[in-house]
């Protein structure tokens, strides 16, 4: 296939799904795919065998989850608009409001729907202020039990989302204990609690059985159904971004320009100033550069066992999360196609993008 393209490998996706299935069975918790991280619905048929449904951040994600992923559809947004709430309710099983004011605003129209409220516990694991839901002056959820109490009878559940790439079970346990201490009396009045995403429980060496025991105990002591909303945990290590070297030069370092762009195809690398991941070997240092006109369009510096040349193929690793959902047409750079490697090793192209797609995105 012509590069660039995202390659989703089902044999690498499967171990994540099996860990999710084990956690569900051992803990009693349900798992919803967070579409804000990954929404490539061509593999939803496989993922739905191991997960309970989807959770969303917008009307369009709600509709995609309902249409493409069997199971429950949870609808959350930082703010619902009046013109979209009817469609949100028609496309979801549960609607979660970000504030008590939004809940009260749409109380009458949503009265026959299962409703929840986002709660901000004021603690998180984020190392980035940009992504920290508990940052000062955060707009993400109600943070005061006194504010929640007057509307508690209008809802049946809470959504807490305060983990971010958290691979530390002890830290998760500590924060959940803090949540119980502060909001326990309100939690015990609910029927279900979502603990959100950001728990890296499919990572190598994570104590999955300890997490299962803690979730089961939380559910039992509070008499609630627990939900998790894995995004990155569901698809970690499953996908590569396949690119080709277009040109090379030397300017104090060996530079290789590829037919892709971090701003257009792996935007989080730019936002969080992180390096891409690549399987390295050898002792030859090369900086891998994107082809856009942005000076800082750099995938990172990597070691190879040979000098790169035009035509060489490279695989950027762990390229599923927050990539396909954020890809854009900056500079008119060719948008990567999407391909799937089946469990039998065969590969198929599921979506390509053309100039017509570029033109249609404009006006």
Is residue 213 a known part of a binding site? no
What is the pLDDT, as a whole number, of residue 126?
85
- For residue range 138-180, list pLDDT tens digits in order: 999 999 999 999 999 999 999 999 999 899 999 999 999 999 9
Domains in the chain (CATH in brackets) are 11-234 (3.20.20.10), 239-319+327-361 (2.40.37.10)
Q: Is the pLDDT of residue 276 over 90?
A: yes
- For residue range 237-259, list pLDDT tens digits in order: 999 999 999 999 999 999 999 99
Is residue 72 a known part of a binding site? no
- For residue range 90-140, list pLDDT tens digits in order: 999 999 999 999 999 999 999 999 999 999 999 998 888 999 999 999 999
SS (H, E, C) the chain: CCCCEEEEEHHHHHHHHHHHHHHHHHHCCEEEEECCCCCCHHHHHHHCCCCCEEECCCHHHHHHHHHHCCCEEEEECCCCCCCCHHHHHHCCCEEEECCHHHHHHCCCCCCCCEEEEEECCCCCCCCCHHHCCCCCCCCCCECCHHHHHHHHHHCCEEEECCCCCECCHHHHHHHHHHHHHHHHHHHCCCCEEECCCCECCCCCCCCHHHHHHHHHHHHHHHCCEEEECCCHHHHCCCEEEEEEEEEEEECCCEEEEECCCHHHHCHHHHHCCCCCECCCCCCEEEEEECCCCCCCCEEEEEEECCCCCCCCEEEEECCCCCCCCCCCCHHHCCCCEEEEECCCCCEEEEECCCHHHHHHCCC
- For residue range 14-71, list pLDDT tens digits in order: 999 999 999 999 999 999 999 999 999 999 999 999 999 999 999 999 999 999 999 9
- For residue range 171-228, list pLDDT tens digits in order: 999 999 999 999 999 999 999 999 999 999 999 999 999 999 999 999 999 999 999 9
């Amino acid at each position: 296939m012509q590069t660039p393209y995202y390659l989703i490998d089902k044999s690498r996706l499967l171990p994540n799904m099996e860990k999710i299935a084990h956690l569900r069975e051992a803990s009693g918790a349900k798992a919803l795919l967070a579409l804000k991280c990954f929404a490539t619905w061509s593999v939803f048929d496989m993922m739905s065998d191991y997960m309970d449904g989807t959770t969303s951040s917008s009307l369009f994600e709600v509709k995609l989850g309902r249409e493409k992923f069997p199971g429950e559809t949870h609808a959350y947004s930082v703010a619902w608009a009046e013109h979209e709430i009817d469609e949100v309710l028609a496309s979801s099983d549960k609607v979660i409001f970000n504030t008590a004011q939004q809940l009260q605003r749409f109380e009458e129209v949503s009265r026959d729907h299962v409703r929840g409220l986002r709660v901000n516990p004021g603690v998180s694991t984020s190392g980035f202020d940009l992504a920290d839901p508990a940052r000062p002056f955060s707009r993400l959820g109600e943070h005061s039990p006194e504010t929640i109490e007057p509307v508690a009878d209008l809802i049946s559940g809470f959504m807490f989302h305060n983990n971010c790439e958290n691979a530390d079970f002890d830290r998760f346990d500590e924060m959940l204990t803090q949540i119980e201490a502060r909001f326990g009396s309100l939690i015990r009045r609910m029927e279900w609690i979502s603990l959100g995403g950001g728990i890296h429980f499919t990572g190598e060496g994570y104590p999955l059985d300890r997490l299962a025991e803690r979730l089961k105990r939380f559910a039992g002591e509070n008499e609630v159904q627990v939900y998790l909303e894995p995004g990155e945990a569901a698809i970690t290590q499953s996908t590569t971004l396949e690119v080709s070297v277009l040109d090379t030069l030397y300017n104090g370092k060996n530079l290789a320009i590829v037919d892709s762009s971090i701003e257009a195809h792996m935007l989080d690398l730019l936002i969080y100033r992180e390096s891409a991941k690549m399987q390295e070997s050898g002792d030859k240092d090369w900086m891998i550069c994107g082809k856009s006109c942005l000076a800082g369009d750099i995938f990172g510096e990597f070691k190879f066992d040979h000098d790169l040349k035009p035509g060489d193929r490279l695989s950027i690793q762990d390229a599923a999360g927050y990539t396909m959902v954020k890809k854009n047409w900056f500079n008119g750079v060719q948008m990567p196609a999407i391909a799937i490697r089946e469990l039998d090793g065969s590969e198929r192209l599921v979506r390509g993008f053309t100039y017509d797609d570029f033109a249609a995105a404009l006006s």
